[in-house]
């Protein structure tokens, strides 16, 4: 095993992502020691019980004390207050990062609180499952997944490279892009799909007068089931993500609704060519990338 | 192995579903012999080569000759002409069925052609993959899937029960419902999800000016990927299904668009409670059925 990339990793928040980072960082020897904090006493106790970190701190501020890598792994809506909380205790030279699915709001909320003597490198590991909490994490979560770094202009390239090396050590592929580009890419690939899946599954509940919920589930192999996995994701987290990326997401949703309106017109007019054109483009888009998607 | 339920099964059409029925009927001993026909010479040759049926007939009419079970396994849009083609050669007492994803249009198109001396029992095995053609089938496709029978009023209950026994033999669970109810249940659980998945995947292609297709695929683990599997389904088949179930589907699509419009308003107003209410209902709907869904 090579030398650790960081001496002391502080994880602020230990849900699915935080606990997976803890497990992966330990399994790969990416850091020498791991300290974690969590908002609730129950989570802190559970993390100690799981034994996936070296030390559980009583507060977020205490956790970051002396850490050369701090990763905030909490819902995006809480990043501002938590940055204010940890700022006074951050060690000079520390790399401070996060795992939020939206980068614009996180940078806007966290950056003003952080002292100039730390390196702020926002990150987003594009990985997850529909499960939540410290028990749901696993060391392999990031293997062959992408981790997107969105360092603000002027960030020390050496700090960016150290964080990139950390994520590569955990098995991820690393890509760097601007905050704004990240948020539009994720609106398309993640936030809109979640919003749509929640809506489809929620609507199936609405139609209960005509079709029972039990029928919906029984016959879900016809397609519906593909939506239910992502619709099982944490509703509070996704509410926050949608609000945090409101502008980009609202724009994509608007586009999507316009496309659906055109499809409704085609459907009602019996315009098979128009339907097939949309279906065919989508099927080909998938086919072009099937080897990669199927391999994952 | 128990006695076969039918002497001679004729499969008119040997794609994913037809070839899976052939394989499953043979593996389970559900029928004594299997004859198949297909529109194209290439498919007929391939089916003969695969050796999954006892006999390949040169025409649909020749295939049904002497068969006591006839299952039409072709796109819903072709059921009318094919019923006209096979009608003169159907044996007295034969059970005639299909596998279409829409029942209203199939009954409307097939029933007028069928002679009074056969039993018409429309069926829909709710099973499939995104792959097509005789090579894509497998004997286990129907195991623990639902097969819905929609016998018109006045159908001989003994014929319905014989077909139900056949599907159970292939591993399916059988449910009987009216044609109209089937079509609304499937609009909700299958046709709308397909239309939506195609639209989402198709749209990702549209935004290519801002986000490259390669980026969409790279970061698809964030949610998008769950849509790509069903969007890889056969576009022509799904065009026909959507048109065939146009009324029910248009109604559901209308409801869905109204719900999306409300979500857009909530999103733009920053109304987190409204978003969360929809997300939470969906997540709970899934959770209530998770054991069944996860087991499948």
Q: Give pTM, 2 decimals.
A: 0.85
Domains of chain A, residue spans: 6-177, 181-295
Whether the per-residue pLDDT at A294 is higher than 60: the answer is: no
Whether the per-residue pLDDT at A291 is higher than 60: the answer is: no
- Beta-strand runs (E) in B102-166: 119-120, 123-126, 146-149
Asked if A282's CB is within 8 angstroms of B189's CB, the reply is no
| C-alpha–C-alpha distance, residues A190 and B223, integer Å | 5
pLDDT digits (tens, 9 = 90+) for B83-105: 999 999 999 999 999 999 999 99
Q: Tell me which of A71 and A284 has the higher pLDDT.
A: A71
Q: What is the mean pLDDT of chain A?
A: 92
Residues of B in contact with A127 (CB under 8 A): 221
Q: Among residues of chain A, what percentage have pLDDT more than 90?
A: 76
- Within an 8 Å CB–CB cutoff, is residue B45 touching chain A? no
pLDDT digits (tens, 9 = 90+) for B17-71: 999 999 999 999 999 999 999 999 999 999 999 999 999 999 999 999 999 999 9
Q: Let me know if domain B181-295 sits in CATH 1.10.3660.10.
A: yes
> What b/e readout covers B175-185, taking b as 16+ CB neighbours within 10 angstroms?
bebebebbbbb
Using 50, 70 and 90 to split pLDDT, how confident is the model at B207? low
Name the residue facing B270 among A229, A246, A253 (closest C-beta): A246
Asked if B296's CB is within 8 angstroms of A188's CB, the reply is no
CB A215 within 8 A of CB B176: no
Segment A156-167 mean pLDDT: 98
Q: Among residues of chain A, what percentage have pLDDT more than 70?
A: 95
Residue A284 has a pLDDT of 81
Tell me whether the CATH fold assigned to B6-177 matches the one assigned to B181-295: no
Using 50, 70 and 90 to split pLDDT, how confident is the model at A72? very high
Asked if A250's CB is within 8 angstroms of B193's CB, the reply is no
Residue B201 has a pLDDT of 86
CB B244 within 8 A of CB A214: no
- Give the closest residue to A259 by CA, choosing from A242, A275, A283, A271: A275
- Within an 8 Å CB–CB cutoff, is residue A265 touching chain B? no
Name the residue facing B220 among A184, A189, A191 (closest C-beta): A189
Give the torsion through C-alpha atoms of B196, B198, B203, B205, to 10 deg: 160
Using 50, 70 and 90 to split pLDDT, how confident is the model at B215? confident
Residue A296 has a pLDDT of 43
Residue A234 has a pLDDT of 87
- Within an 8 Å CB–CB cutoff, is residue A262 touching chain B? no
Asked if B293's CB is within 8 angstroms of A127's CB, the reply is no
Whether the per-residue pLDDT at B295 is higher than 50: the answer is: no
Residues of A in contact with B204 (CB under 8 A): 188-189, 285
Asked if B239's CB is within 8 angstroms of A203's CB, the reply is no
Give the torsion through C-alpha atoms of B74, B75, B76, B82, to 10 deg: -50
pLDDT digits (tens, 9 = 90+) for A106-134: 999 999 999 999 999 999 999 988 888 99
Name the residue facing B196 among A200, A217, A231 (closest C-beta): A200
Q: Under DSSP, is residue B143 helix (H, G, I), strand (E, B) or coil?
A: coil
Residues of A in contact with B248 (CB under 8 A): none
Whether the per-residue pLDDT at B195 is higher than 70: the answer is: yes
Asked if B189's CB is within 8 angstroms of A222's CB, the reply is yes
Give the torsion through C-alpha atoms of B267, B268, B272, B273, to 10 deg: -90
Residue A25 has a pLDDT of 98
- Within an 8 Å CB–CB cutoff, is residue A143 touching chain B? no
Using 50, 70 and 90 to split pLDDT, how confident is the model at A285? confident
CB A276 within 8 A of CB B236: yes
Q: Are β-strands A95-98 and A119-120 bridged in parallel, bridged antiparallel, or unpaired?
A: parallel
User: What ipTM is given for this predicted complex?
Assistant: 0.84
Q: Tell me which of A45 and B227 has the higher pLDDT.
A: A45
pLDDT digits (tens, 9 = 90+) for A174-227: 999 999 999 999 999 999 999 999 988 888 766 556 788 788 888 888 888 888
Q: Which of residues 22-41 of A touch B (CB under 8 A)?
A: none
Segment B198-225 mean pLDDT: 79
Q: What is the mean pLDDT of chain B?
A: 92
Q: Under DSSP, is residue B17 helix (H, G, I), strand (E, B) or coil?
A: helix
Name the residue facing A283 among B210, B235, B243 (closest C-beta): B235
Q: Among residues of chain B, what percentage have pLDDT more than 70?
A: 95
Name the residue facing A272 among B243, B264, B279 (closest C-beta): B243
CB A95 within 8 A of CB A163: yes
Using 50, 70 and 90 to split pLDDT, how confident is the model at B220? confident
Query: Which pair of tokens denotes residue B7?
Result: 């002497």
Residue A295 has a pLDDT of 45
Distance from the Cα of B119 to chain A's closest Cα (Å) equals 26
HSE at residue A245, side-chain half, CA atoms within 13 A, is 32
Using 50, 70 and 90 to split pLDDT, how confident is the model at B292? low
Q: Quick one: closest CA in B to A142, which residue?
A: B221
Whether the per-residue pLDDT at A290 is higher than 60: the answer is: no
Q: Quick one: closest CA in A to B204, which residue?
A: A188
Q: Cα dist. A83→A20, A47, A121, A131, A223 in Å? A: 22, 22, 13, 26, 42
As a CATH number, domain A6-177 is: 3.40.50.720
Residues of A in contact with B239 (CB under 8 A): 272, 275-276, 279
Q: Quick one: closest CA in A to B255, which residue?
A: A203
Q: Which of residues 162-221 of A touch B (CB under 8 A)?
A: 175, 184-186, 188-207, 210-211, 213, 215-221
Using 50, 70 and 90 to split pLDDT, how confident is the model at B294? very low
Asked if A234's CB is within 8 angstroms of B253's CB, the reply is no
Whether the per-residue pLDDT at B266 is higher than 50: the answer is: yes
Using 50, 70 and 90 to split pLDDT, how confident is the model at B249? very high
Distance from the Cα of A65 to chain B's closest Cα (Å) equals 32
pLDDT digits (tens, 9 = 90+) for A239-273: 999 999 999 999 999 999 999 999 999 999 999 99
Name the residue facing A189 among B197, B222, B290 (closest C-beta): B222
Asked if A260's CB is within 8 angstroms of B293's CB, the reply is no
Q: Among residues of chain B, what percentage have pLDDT more than 90?
A: 76
Name the residue facing B267 among A246, A289, A292 (closest C-beta): A246
Residue B206 has a pLDDT of 65
Name the residue facing B236 among A191, A232, A276 (closest C-beta): A276
Whether the per-residue pLDDT at B156 is higher than 90: the answer is: yes
């Amino acid at each position: 095993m090579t030398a650790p990339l960081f001496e002391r990793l502080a994880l602020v928040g230990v849900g699915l992502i935080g606990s997976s980072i803890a497990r992966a960082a330990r399994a790969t020897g990416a850091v020498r020691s791991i300290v974690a904090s969590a908002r609730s006493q129950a989570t802190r106790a559970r993390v100690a019980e799981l034994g996936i970190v070296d030390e559980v701190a009583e507060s977020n501020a205490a956790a970051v004390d002396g850490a050369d890598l701090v990763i905030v792994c909490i819902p995006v809506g809480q990043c501002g207050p938590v940055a204010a909380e940890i700022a006074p205790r951050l060690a000079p030279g520390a790399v401070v990062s996060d795992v939020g699915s939206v980068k614009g709001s996180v940078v806007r909320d966290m950056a003003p609180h952080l002292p100039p003597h730390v390196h702020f490198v926002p990150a987003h590991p594009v990985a997850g499952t529909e499960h939540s909490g410290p028990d749901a994490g696993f060391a392999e979560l990031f293997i062959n997944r992408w981790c997107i770094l969105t360092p603000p202009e002027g960030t020390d390239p050496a700090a960016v490279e150290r964080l990139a090396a950390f994520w590569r050590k955990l098995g991820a592929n690393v890509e760097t892009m601007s905050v704004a580009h990240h948020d539009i890419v994720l609106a398309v690939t993640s936030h809109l799909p979640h919003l749509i899946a929640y809506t489809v599954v929620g609507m199936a509940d609405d139609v209960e007068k005509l079709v029972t919920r039990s029928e919906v589930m029984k016959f879900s192999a016809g397609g519906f089931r593909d939506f239910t996995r992502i619709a099982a994701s944490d509703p509070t987290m996704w509410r926050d993500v949608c609000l945090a990326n409101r502008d980009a997401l609202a724009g994509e949703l608007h586009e999507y609704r316009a496309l659906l309106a055109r499809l409704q017109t085609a459907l009602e007019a019996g315009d098979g060519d128009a339907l097939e054109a949309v279906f065919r483009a989508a099927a080909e888009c998938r086919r072009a990338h099937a080897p990669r998607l199927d391999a994952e």
